[in-house]
Structure 1
Amino acid sequence: MEARTDVNRLPGENSPYWIQYPLDIRQQFRLLCKHGERVRLWYGPSDSIVSVVLEVRDNGDLVFDVGPDARTNQRLLAAPNVLFTSMMDGVELKCALGPLREVMHEGLPAFASALPTRLHRLQRRDCHRMPIPVGHAVHGEIPSSPQAGPRPSDRSAQRIPIKLIDISLGGVAFELPSGTSHTWERGLRLPECRLQLDDMGVVSVDLEVRHIADIHTRSGTVRRKVGCRFTRLSAGAENLIQRYITRLELNRRNVG
């Protein structure tokens, strides 16, 4: 049973995990509906019912199943504010729904609410890395000569293209281009890197090399994978990366 003292508190305005685009919010609820995930509707300090999302209507309204107890259902309908919580693939979903109203769904009573203006989506596994699927145009540019220590960045330095392998809020991994002459090792700095996230935009970040590994392919060739952490990540870049990771996860679930 969830502790109300934890779930009752919505995260602050500055949390990077808020989803505020209606299409993205609607897609999250459609996935909950498609997979029959359990949700909780909270209406008091320690009072809630377990429900499921029955439908996401074309106008954006959400339809939830009612509980087995009529009196509890009436208390939920009378609550001026209802808090929604759920878990999907280890990701916590949370938002304020406002008041619910009674509707009919396939001839049976149900609850309905307007689509929330924002949804908090928190990945419990810190810096969960998402692999970049084949066909996604995710690439970037890094300095051709990494720095051995924290020195001022040189915006005019020559750059080389890279292909990203995975991405998280903590960093990225990329395939080292063939023909790179520089000796790569842990601790090297990559200032002013640019990452193109499909059609979502470009972010500028500073990276630090954390590990290097050789990948042996079936053809017998050896590719070098470089894993890096972000040492500079603006709030805007963090929000864009979070939205991109959310898109990747939604696409993965839709395919599955």
Structure 2
Amino acid sequence: MNDDIVETIDWRGEPIDCRACRHQDMLALGKCKLSHACVNDRYARRIDRFFNWNPELSNDYLKHEYFEIRAIAAKRAAVFGLIPLLDDAEETVRWNAARRLPKKHILKLRNDPHREVRIRIVSLLDDADLVPMLQDEDYYVRQVIARKLAPNLLDWMVSDPEPEVRRMVAQRAEKNVLLRMMTDPEPRVRVEVAKRLAPEILARMRGDEDWRVRYEAASRIDKELLAELAEDEDEMVRETVRARLNGDQT
């Protein structure tokens, strides 16, 4: 497959000259190809193809000036050479090193300055190792943690200041945690709670101030408890009650 890009320039913006390349002997052997598989090219796809063809050269490029070369070399270099890259100035380099290193070496990236690294590092860590990240300043990092933690550990995040994080908790937490979230101040969170409660527990929320919660209650609680929702201020709630009482909906 050919690249759409036709230019052949290096990371400094200069034209590539194969005659000046340290690997010029590889050209005749088919181990590199201008505009296709070239370590000097500025485009990541071509650099990646070069190291795919010549993985044994990856170690030699872990300190290269161009971050794309360091990052791509890190994908195939020997693991013992990757630890220094955890302090690289570029987040892409740090991540490519982290994904291949043992956990004991990557724990410090829980405090990485770049949110994308912290988000990705969550997938590599055990639940216990994520505890220090529950206070991460970025709500999306915490949301990713809430998506990964075992359900029985989500009670740690019930009081998270961000509603979207608590919504994720409500979608996955065990039932005893849901009971604590029935009075969450955010309607969107209570809606998620209502969706997962058993009808007999959901009945406690039939007077909720948010119509979406009342609608969920009207749809599933025992018919004997529907009377107080028959004159609800929301039309959808009233219609749901009428339909159930008339036997059109179970």
Q: What TM-score, normalized by structure 2, do the two folds share?
A: 0.23
Higher relative contact order (CA 8 A, sep 6+): 1
The structure with more strand, counted as a fraction of residues: 1
The structure with more helix, counted as a fraction of residues: 2
Q: What TM-score, normalized by structure 1, do the two folds share?
A: 0.22
Flag the structure with larger Rg.
2
